[in-house]
Each structure stands twice: as structure tokens, then as C-alpha cells.
A and B are shown apart, each in its own frame.
Chain A
Amino acid sequence: MSDTSWLSKFPQLERGDLIAIRKTLDGAYREFSRNYGDTIESLFDPLLTFLIWFEKLLIASPWWLTIGVILAIVYGASRSWKLCTGVLASLLAIGILGMWDDTMRTLSIITVCTLLSIGIGIPTGILMSRSNRAQAIVTPILDVMQTMPAFVYLIPVVMLLGIGKIPGVIAVIIYAVPPVIRLTNLGIRLVNKETLEAATAFGATAKQRLFGIQLPLAMPTIMAGINQTIMMALAMVVVASMIGVKGLGQPVLKSITNQYFTLGLFNGLAIVALAIIFDRVSQTYAKRTQKHLGGMNND
């Protein structure tokens, strides 16, 4: 009977072997972190300095100046007074309810995460769109990034880089960058083939095609990706606060543990308000700049 036990029971590795594998890998990671942790950490120093500077800038500036600058950006992007009024109202409400500093912290880290995601995502998306092999390699990585529970990589990152902003930014970007990569790739691949062929036929170089045709025409799709990325970054605020990122996530975490429902709701709503501001501004900006691409067909 014992010879055929594998029929009824999955023939798994011996317990000792499994433990040996796990111990070896963990040990290797510890060794790595011990040997290279400082070096890797120092690579991120400029980013950390910038993050701290930007956060201090947002918090230390007088609140009316910060609101003024935000409104100017909103108006510049959207050209809509209605949207500006809405943004002003939500920022004032946030301030009155005592969440100004936390909101500024979250705003600063989300802004940086978004810019980095765009900086990483668009070139990666371009690479994927130009090579089917790159696409075949990157797609499963993106799937892993989006579905792997954050804590699985958060704690190793904490061991490597400590708690605080940098691991927070890394965690947020890992989760938030896939949409902009995917949609850049998709957007470029969906560019009308004939239009691109036309550019080639007239002797456009690869660079001229990319910047003159592919990126401008993929822009609505890419903007949708950026929008998604911002939303996902904001959704990660609470998770990031679990490794010591200050901002709106910490009060949310606190309220979960202690069942302070109102505190949780207020801070949650502040996150939602930020999300809506980012979303509306980026969408109206996209709509405004892409108007001629369609919808005005009057023949």
C-alpha cells in the first residue's frame, strides 16, 4: 500500500528538504541584504532627499499659497472654473477637518510616485510595443506585480532599505506602474497602421515615427493609463502606511485597529477627494488636448 500512497496523497518534498530550500533562500537574501543593503540604499539617497524636500515644501508653505498653486495647475490643465471651485471646496474641507498636513504628505508622495511611474512606464511601454519578445517577457511580470500581495515584497524591501518613504514609493510604484505600461503598449500598437505606414513611406526615421505619430496618437490611451496609475497609487496609500509612510494612510490604519469609524471615514474621504482631483484634472486635460482627434466630424 505504502508504494502507491502517492496516488492518494500529493507526492510532496520531504519536510526537511522543503525547510532546507526555504532556509537557504532566506539565508541568501539576508546575506545579500547584509552585503549590498548600504550600497543599494545609498543609490536611493537622492530620491529620498527629493521626497523629503518636496514634502517639507508642501507642508511648510502657507496653506493659501499651496491652494493657490494647486488651483493654478488645475486651471492650467483643465481651463474649467467649475472644476477649480470643486477643488477649492474639497481642499478647504480637508483643512478645516484637520487633515491638511497628512493630505500634503500624501499629495507629495503620490505626485512623486506618479511622475516616477510615468518615467518608468512610458519607456517600458514603448519597448514592449516595439518588440513582441519584450511584450512576452514583460506581460507576466506585470501580472505578478499586480496580483502579488504587497506584504510579500514589502518586508524584504524594508529589510533592504528600512521603513519609510523609499520602500513606500517602491511598493506604490510596483503596484501602480502596470497600467501605464500596458496602456502605452496598447496605445502604440493600436495606432492606425496606415498612418504609420504613411510616415514610413515618406521616409520618417524610427524616432520621427515614435515622437511624431505613435506617441501623439497613443496619447489618449496613455492618459487613461496614467489616470489608472494615479488611482492605484492612491489606493496603495494605506498599504504604504503599514511600512511607515506618513500621510492619510496612518490615521486610516489607526482607525481600523481601534474602530474609530469617523476618523477612518474622514481620512478615507480625503483620499477619495485627492483621487477625484487627480482624475478630473488629468481627464479634462486629456480631453481638451485631444479634441481634434474625433468627435468633431462634421461631414
Chain B
Amino acid sequence: MTSLNKASTDLETLIEISGLYQVFGNKAKSVLPMVKAGKSKDEVLAETGHTVGLRDINLDVKRGEIFVIMGLSGSGKSTMIRHFNRLIDPTEGQIKVEGEDIMQLSDEELIQFRRHKMSMVFQHFGLMPHRTVLDNVAYGLAIQNVDKKERLASANQWLETVGLAGYGDQYPAQLSGGQQQRVGLARALCTNAEILLMDEAFSALDPLIRSEMQDQLIELQAKLKKTIIFITHDLDEALRIGDRIAILKDGILSQVGKPVDILLHPADDYVEAFVKDVNRARALNTQTLMQDIGNILGSQSVESAIHSLNENQQEYGFVSNQDGYQGVVTRVQLEQVAANDNAMDICCDELLIKVPSVSPDQSLQSAIPEALGHNFALPVTCEEGKLVGSIPRSEIAQVLES
């Protein structure tokens, strides 16, 4: 059920950013009014020598979601993520975590905040070449002065979790890029911080390793339920792992939304151009298109089933009993049977049409074959076979057209 819940929007807000501006230069504050007046980045640079990094950023991140910030190089995304733990201080604006304004933190409080609330994974790993892999993973705990035995035990455990058991005594330079980033991930997880900042974490890896790491992240997230802020320049990656995506262009947020919204309803020309070339069927998984099924038929009589369909003005209905999803019954067929046997249970092989179901984290592309050969919406079931939703054919058509 978790995978379903995280897609919904009524979750608690964990991080809230409002009115954030970042101007680089010696007299940033004095240039700010000019930026607010709407002068372009180039104009400001030409007139004052200051670079506008971010402009009026407002967004919020929900607890437990993977929030992706996507943009091309120079869009300000790496600057953006460094505001969350104040590696960079904004020129103006508010950053609240759990309702607390972190701009107000004292130096000491900020250090504590970084130690316990957030951890970070870096594009080029940012590992310490002079420390062993194990010491690298334990670094966050070491600077908190956690007892050595305790922190190494914890580090070992996380190394195992990311699949690097036995590599603890090696030095980072002895590992491959993918392995090094796993160390980076283990290091970030080792402090048990709730929020994970990932700055282009997989961008430096080659495509095969990258996709492997994405899988691992999704898998881990299912277990750990962290709040992850993930920076990428790769839209496919964003669509694949993001619960919500923010698109950043020249320091301005163009659009924030679920992957499907971004793909199907781009907010402006920029986003549209961006998503144009995406293979939507592959980028979207079934879950993003899935809709709730209002009325699910159970183990019941033909008569009551017809009644139920009529009431909801449905031509057909999905049937699910204690064993999970069973198939589809149509009203036309039910009405034919009803003439003979009104009390017959609909859960029988004569009535049920075995429309194959798909799983929610399957790509749309792989689900399309299942949609062929019938005219019904595509049922989606979770692992235990339970019916969780369906994808209307119109949705599929909309995704595939264009």
C-alpha cells in the first residue's frame, strides 16, 4: 500500500521554501530589488556583474516522497539543493523544515541540524580518499563522537545493505565508480537522518550502473521511507524515480508536479520542448496513470451485480474476492445469464473474462501488450493480487499519441 500512498498529495509538508532568491556577487543585497523588478539574468549581469542564481523559489516537500529537481546545467539546481542544508545561504527567503526556520539556526544548531536531520550524496561521491571505505561510511557518526565500535558496526551494516559487504578495508580509489557511489549512499544513510539530499548522485555513472542504482534506490526507499530530494539533469531519471518533479530553468521554477502532469500537461514551452522526446510509455509506470476504481464487484449474485453496475452507470465491472482480482464481467453478459439464473455467483468461469492485470511499478510500455485483445480498462494489482486501480484506455491513448 505504501507505493500507493506516496503518490497522493495529502501528506504532511516537511520542507517549505518560500520567496527564495540567490544572487552571487559582492553586493548581492543591493542588486536584489533589480532582480525582483524582473530584470533578466543577462541584464543584471551586464549592469552589475552579479549573477542571478535563483529567483523567487517557492516549493514544499512532503514527508516520505522523492522530490526531484530537474534542470539543465546552469539552471541553478545544484545551488538549489545546497540551500536545504545551508551549504549556501540564500540572499533572501525562508527555508522551513518541520515548521522551523533554519535560517535562524545558530552555528552550533546548524551543525546539529546537519548531523541529525539531513545527509547528502554528491555527484562525484565526495569520499575521503585517505580513509577506508568503512571509515568513510562511519564518518557522519565519527564526527558526532559516536563510540568507535558502535559506529563501525553500524557502518558495516549499511555497507551490507548497499551490497558492498567485505569492501570495508579498501580505500575509495580501489573501487569502481558505481561502488564508490554506493559508499556515498551508505555514508548518507548511516547517520539515520530523515532527509536525504542527492545531488546528481547517479550522473557520473555509466548508464547500466545508473539504472541499477536507480533500482536500488527505489527498493531502499520502499523500505526506509526517507524524504529524498534528488537533483538530476536527466528527465528519464526524474520520471522514473520521482514522486513529484520540479523543473528549474535559469533559476526559476517552471513547473512542479507529478511525472504524469509534467509529461501530459507541460506548463510552458520550455517544459514541453523538454518532454517532447521522452518515450512516455517507457518513462511512465502504470501507477502514474492508474485511477481509483469506484465500484469493485465482489463475490455476489448476478442480480445484485447488475444492480450495482446500473447504479454506477457502468458497462462492465472488475471482480475481486478474498483471493484477489478475478476478472471482468460485462452487463450485457450478466443480463443474458440473469434470464436463467438470477442468483448465480458471478465468480465463476462461465461469466468471468480473464483480463490480465499489470503491476503498479511496471512501465507502461511493458503493460501495453496486456491491453491488447480486449476493450476494458487495464486492471492494476499489487503483489498479493489485490486490485488497486485501473488504467482507462483513454489515458493510454493520450500518453501514446503526439
Q: Using CB atoms and an 8 Å cutoff, list the residues of chain A in contact with chain B.
A: 192, 194-195, 197-205, 208, 212-213, 216-217, 290, 292-294, 296-299
Contact = CB atoms under 8 A, between A and B. Distances in A.
Contacts of B128: 195, 198-199, 212-213, 217
Interface stretch (B32-40, B58-66, B169-177): B169-177
Contact of B118 (A201, A204, A217, A298): A201
Contacts of A298: 174
23 contacts: A194-B125, A194-B126, A195-B129, A197-B87, A198-B122, A198-B128, A200-B87, A201-B120, A202-B114, A202-B140, A203-B114, A203-B143, A205-B111, A205-B143, A216-B130, A290-B130, A292-B130, A293-B173, A296-B171, A296-B173, A299-B174, A299-B175, A299-B176
Contacts of A294: 129, 173
A205 B106 CA distance: 13
Q: What are the 4 tightest A-B residue pairs by CB atom distance, in nearest-first order?
A: A203-B115, A198-B126, A203-B114, A194-B126
A296 B115 contact: no
B175 A202 contact: no
Contacts of A201: 85, 87, 114, 118-120, 197
B129 A197 contact: no
Nearest to B179: A299
A194 B115 CA distance: 17
A205 B145 CA distance: 12
Contacts of A208: 143
A88 B175 CA distance: 41
Contacts of A212: 128, 143
B124 interface: yes
A81 to B, nearest CB: 27
Contacts of A200: 87, 114
Contacts, number: 83
A197 B112 CA distance: 16
B354 to A, nearest CB: 50
Given A197-B87, A201-B119, A202-B139, 4 more contacts: A194-B124, A198-B187, A201-B120, A203-B114
B174 A296 contact: yes
B144 interface: yes
A292 B173 contact: yes
A204 B173 contact: no
B75 interface: no
Contacts of A202: 114-115, 119-120, 139-140, 143, 187, 191
Nearest to A200: B87
Contacts of A199: 128, 139, 143
B123 interface: yes
Interface of B: 82, 85, 87, 111-116, 118-120, 122-130, 139-140, 143-144, 171, 173-177, 187, 191, 197
A88 B366 CA distance: 76
Nearest to B125: A194
A266 to B, nearest CB: 43
A296 B122 CA distance: 23
B123 A203 contact: no
Contact of B173 (A197, A205, A213, A297): A297
A194 B81 CA distance: 14
A93 to B, nearest CB: 39
A290 B113 CA distance: 33
Given A213-B128, A296-B174, A299-B175, A194 B122 contact: yes
Contacts of A204: 111, 143
Nearest to B142: A212
A203 B111 contact: yes
Nearest to B110: A203
A289 to B, nearest CB: 9
B136 to A, nearest CB: 9
Contacts of A213: 128
A279 B124 CA distance: 35
A76 B82 CA distance: 45
A90 B113 CA distance: 59
A213 B129 CA distance: 9
Contacts of A195: 126-129
A80 B116 CA distance: 46
A198 B197 CA distance: 11
A299 B179 CA distance: 10
Nearest to A295: B173
B170 to A, nearest CB: 9
A202 B130 CA distance: 17
Contacts of A192: 124, 126
Of residues A197, A201, A217, A294, which shows the largest number of chain B Cβ atoms within 10 Å of its Cβ?
A: A201
A217 B130 CA distance: 7
Contacts of A292: 129-130, 171, 173
A71 B162 CA distance: 48
B310 to A, nearest CB: 60
B129 A297 contact: no
Contacts of B139: 199, 202
Nearest to B130: A216
